[in-house]
Structure 1
Amino acid sequence: MPAKPHQQRPGAVTTGRRRRVRGLVAGLSGVVLTVLTACSHTDGGLQASPAPSGADCTVAKLPLKNPGRFTVATDEPAYAPWFADDNPNNGKGYESAVLFAVAARLGFKAEDVDWLQVPFNSAIAPGEKSFDVDIDQVTITAQRQQNVDLSAPYYDTSQAVIALEGSKLAGISTLAELRGAKLGAQADSTSLAAINDQVKPEVPAAVLDTNEDGVKALQDKRIDGLVVDLPTAVQMISGQVDGGLMVGRLPDPDGQPEQFGMVLDHGSKLTGCINQSINKLRDDGTLAKLEGKWLGDLPDVPQLT
């Protein structure tokens, strides 16, 4: 789809906006990570990144787009629970909080972080990036790793289906019942891949430019169900979608949860330091604390069988 141009958010560190949707929490436990080699588990297996020494992962030595500044991208609008008040710069929401925790590990002050608005599809496309990292619920996949670097995972998730009360999907419990429905998901997302690979629908899925478009398509009844990640789905049916209901979650591919990683230039020399920071935040319990604070206890959503 046509991509919006990259836009600097007003000011050095300003409010921002972003869009999105995708899967369920499978927990941060069970992730196989080795700090010394800064490896991350992905759909394509373990990807080794450079393992820099702590002395190299300091602001003065980091290979930054703008010396002394940490340039971070996300899409717009910036939806909860990943961000709060449509403002990635306030440190509220899980991804904003994780980003600032990583920045602090590297030695940046909050005022040293600059936010850009970059569309999701542009962030994961081939080519040099205008940002140091992008944080936007990007699932780690082997295909994407051919175009960009993806960091060590900072969150595990699965896909979920939402619909409207009284719709044909209300009360279903199996994939077979889901296959005859018109489902929709964002273009180039793992939500769309889950429809095609896990559901195998009889009706071609609606490919939507953004999840915001997906919400509108659902409310206009142009689709029967929208596929997104579980935390986003919970947020949507809690107020964003009038009359929204949770249908169920989809099986995880190969029994493994999806994992979110930050996006960097392909072959970036910064990747190892980002991985090291994320791994330390996991080891010292920071990621778990931030998950509890901003995502809370997700409801027990049954898996469609």
Structure 2
Amino acid sequence: MTIFIQPSALAVQTTYIVGAGGTYRPFEYENSNKELEGFDIDLIKAIAHVEGFQVQLVNTPWEGIFATLDNGDRDIIISGITITEKRKQSVDFSLPYFPAEQVIVGQKGTEITSIASLKDKIVGVVNGSTGDIVISTVLGRNNTAIRRFDNTPLLLQELYEEGIDAAVGDVGVVKFYIKMHPGKAFDLVYDNAFEPQYFGIAVEKGNTDLKNKIDAGLKKIIVDGTYHKIYEKWFDSNTPKLPIDIE
């Protein structure tokens, strides 16, 4: 008896090795089982699903993460990577998938409306962060009104306890903290003076086929609502509008 097998049954899905850091909660971090999870992890899995490929996740330290594309150890890296012109010279980026903007955090009912209104306030930042750089420019690097903290949880706890008047930090990290601490109410204040920045998924320079797959998958999960569900899981229901043309 002759058995006919449909061609699709013979198809083997391509597996791409994905590098992601394990220390940038909530984008990628190791859980108690030493498995990577986070917004970025859910996102790349969703893209892989709609594009019909598999991913093998590998915890990859930030230092040297770009080199793993050059030497072939990784096919994709997704690790809260801000798209910059300098980085575009060595890797190819997907379409932007997350607005990596800074946000001002005030106590509930704050009268703070902009960066300019921070000049007479005690402002907290994470030491060495983008927020630190921005506020140091506005208030002066050695201004004693700037309080520097080791991480965002410490920063926002101090704000909650009214030890500082406002904080400036990465919007994703701030939103995740607020989601995890529903009893602590804050107001978020956006200012166009913050330079717009976005995270992108990186592939080896010249790997247009893989980049196109990722871009196509990202568009699909935006259209079908998957992106919104992932965003809501980690942050809130205010899904950002990305600078992507959806046909």
Length-normalised TM-score, structure 2:
0.63
Check if 1:156 corresponds to 2:99: yes
**1:161 touches 1:226 (CA, 8 Å); kept in 2?**
yes
Bigger radius of gyration among the two: 2
User: Which 5+ residue runs of structure 2 have no aligned equivalent?
Assistant: 1-12, 241-247
Backbone CA RMSD of aligned residues: 4.0
Q: 1:73: which partner in 2?
A: 20
Deviation of 1:293 (Å) = 0.7
Q: 1:293: which partner in 2?
A: 229
The verdict on how the C-alpha distance between 1:253 and 1:135 changes in structure 2, with shifts beyond 3 A counting, is same
Q: 1:99: which partner in 2?
A: 44
- Equivalent runs, 1:101-250 vs 2, <5 Å: 101-104=46-49, 107-109=52-54, 112-119=55-62, 122=63, 127-128=67-68, 131-146=74-89, 148-163=91-106, 170-180=110-120, 181-185=122-126, 187=128, 190-195=130-135, 200-202=138-140, 203=143, 213-220=151-158, 224-240=165-181, 243=184, 245-250=186-191
**1:185 touches 1:192 (CA, 8 Å); kept in 2?**
yes
**1:162 touches 1:237 (CA, 8 Å); kept in 2?**
no
**2:93 touches 2:200 (CA, 8 Å); kept in 1?**
yes
Residues 20-53 of structure 1: CA deviation (Å, up to 9, x unaligned): xxxxxxxxxxxxxxxxxxxxxxxxxxxxxxxxxx
Higher fraction of helix: 2
Residues 226-283 of structure 1: CA deviation (Å, up to 9, x unaligned): 43343432222233497351241232556xx42210234xx5343x234202321244
**1:172 touches 1:178 (CA, 8 Å); kept in 2?**
yes
SS at match of 2:85: coil
Count of paired positions: 212
The verdict on how the C-alpha distance between 1:171 and 1:243 changes in structure 2, with shifts beyond 3 A counting, is farther
The verdict on how the C-alpha distance between 1:223 and 1:150 changes in structure 2, with shifts beyond 3 A counting, is farther
User: Which 5+ residue runs of structure 1 have no aligned equivalent?
Assistant: 1-57, 60-67, 301-305
- Equivalent runs, 1:76-87 vs 2, <5 Å: 76=23, 78-79=25-26, 82=27, 86=31
**1:148 touches 1:263 (CA, 8 Å); kept in 2?**
yes
Length-normalised TM-score, structure 1:
0.53
Deviation of 1:78 (Å) = 3.4
**2:21 touches 2:29 (CA, 8 Å); kept in 1?**
no
Distance 1:207 1:196 in 2: 11
